[in-house]
Amino acid sequence: MTTAQTSPVLIGRTTELVALRQAWAGAAQGRAQTVSIGGDAGVGKSRLLTELRPDVIASGGLWVLGTTPAQAAVAQPFAPLISALRSLLRSVDQPRRVAVIGPARAELARLVPELGDSATGPAAFDQMTGSVGRLFELVLDVFHRLAATQPAALIFEDLHWADRSTLDLVDFLARNLGGDRLLLVVTYRTDELHRRHPLRPVLAELHRLAQVTSLLLPPLTRDEVGELLAVLTGAVVADEVVDRVCERSSGLAFLVEELAAAGLDLDGIPRGLQDLLQIRVDTLAPDVADVVRAVAVGAAACTVPDDLLMAVTPMPAADLARRVREAVSHGVLTTGESGIDFRHALLREVWRPTCSQASARGSTRPTQPRSLPTREPRTTRPSRRGSRSIGARPMTCRGPRWPRCRRDAPPAARMRSPRPPTTSCGCSIGGATSTTLRACSAMPGR
């Protein structure tokens, strides 16, 4: 059985593709449009754009692509703009290049040396102070001249890695393109946007504009995963295999394709994919990684309730909430009504070996999971005092230091410290009216 690396057919994005095509049709008629496309890494944002490109070319449009490199310590100023300008220069001949760039050539040559000698006077922007001066107006004029001769689609990918000046430029263009025959498309990863990410307020303002369409790509459904696997493998895949791949990939098309390319190994992780996921492991601070390891042990087969995580991580609730919040910001953990879990199953699988490594090193950090008391299996009932009982919400976990089956999970009262923990905001954790760890970790500014 031969497995294709990527699917030649777009699966499960009919609605979003229709919206993109409608936006392009409006832009080609002289009504500039902006589309933002968000979603987790690997959900299929770039794949969706590849479906739009033939439509743009077939209708006489120009495809101008600007990419943003993965952010290092400091983001490269105007990285997607520089990439887009180079894409433009490669797409047009010399006479038209001169006409489109026009009087902006000397200033833009500071960003793109291929344009020739740069201006000798004061720059239209200052990378040190963040002042953009005349640069935005010059860039706008370039795209005015381009759209006057040919409709164009301007793509800025991976804005979550862009610098603040680029985000301001995107906002400026979306508001000022007006009657130009130009479609502006920006993509970003939702799992990279922490609560204070500079892209968040920009998106919030853009979404208020009538000429802006916002698309948020959800993961593929179980049936769509099965359809994608059938296309990739060229054969109908067994239901149990589809279920397992859907669970491990969380419906992210890229992960489905990687697992299929590895021969649908239901337990192993392809080396290249493991290295990619390992990056998120390595970027966390050590104290945050300790909490994630605790979740990795407890979340072997279920979501970890907030109060259970607090019981096995002996630290102030405020510190635990901060570390969980940071892990969520890095796209490693998620929080919900039922507790805390990994963003997707493959991340959990990558983390679990680190638990064994930490144990083998004999780590004595106070944040390591401590052993829970064990007891004879029996059915537990909710606490009469109204507090949430672990036994009242059965769970199935596997792994050392955690309850090994539903009935082994002890009541919260047997694990509770003499004094209920509190957060720095004064919230007591434990009891019917308590603020949970999940709620505290979501509080803005904390």
- Identify whether residues 33 and 125 lie together within a single domain: yes
- Identify whether residues 342 and 397 lie together within a single domain: yes
Backbone angles phi, psi at 179, to 5 degrees: -90, 20
Answer yes or no: is pLDDT of 275 > 80: no
Per residue in 99-142, pLDDT tens?
A: 999 999 988 998 999 887 655 555 555 544 445 768 999 999 99
- Identify whether residues 237 and 206 lie together within a single domain: no
Asked whether residue 446 is assigned to any structural domain, the reply reads: no
- Identify whether residues 370 and 254 lie together within a single domain: no
Asked whether residue 9 is assigned to any structural domain, the reply reads: no
Task: Count structural domains, the chain.
Answer: 3
- Identify whether residues 243 and 289 lie together within a single domain: no
- Identify whether residues 42 and 182 lie together within a single domain: yes
Q: How confident is the model at residue 342 (pLDDT cuts 50, 70, 90)?
A: confident
Domain boundary among 174, 201, 216: 216
- Least confident among 34-38, 391-395, 400-404: 391-395
- Identify whether residues 253 and 324 lie together within a single domain: no
Asked whether residue 165 is assigned to any structural domain, the reply reads: yes
pLDDT confidence of residue 300: 57
Domain boundary among 250, 268, 286: 268
pLDDT confidence of residue 194: 81
- Identify whether residues 260 and 310 lie together within a single domain: no
- Identify whether residues 305 and 421 lie together within a single domain: yes
Per residue in 423-437, pLDDT tens?
A: 333 333 333 323 445
Mean pLDDT across 376-380? 44
- Identify whether residues 226 and 212 lie together within a single domain: no
Tokens of 337: 């009504």
Domain extent at residue 236: 222-268
Q: Which long-range contacts (CB under 8 A, 24 or more apart) does 281-289 make?
A: 281/332, 281/350, 281/351, 281/354, 283/330, 284/326, 284/327, 284/330, 284/332, 285/326, 286/365, 287/323, 287/365, 287/367, 288/323, 288/326, 288/327, 288/330, 289/354
Asked whether residue 170 is assigned to any structural domain, the reply reads: yes
- Identify whether residues 423 and 402 lie together within a single domain: yes
- Identify whether residues 159 and 144 lie together within a single domain: yes
Asked whether residue 2 is assigned to any structural domain, the reply reads: no
- For residue 85, what is the domain's CATH number? 3.40.50.300
Asked whether residue 211 is assigned to any structural domain, the reply reads: yes
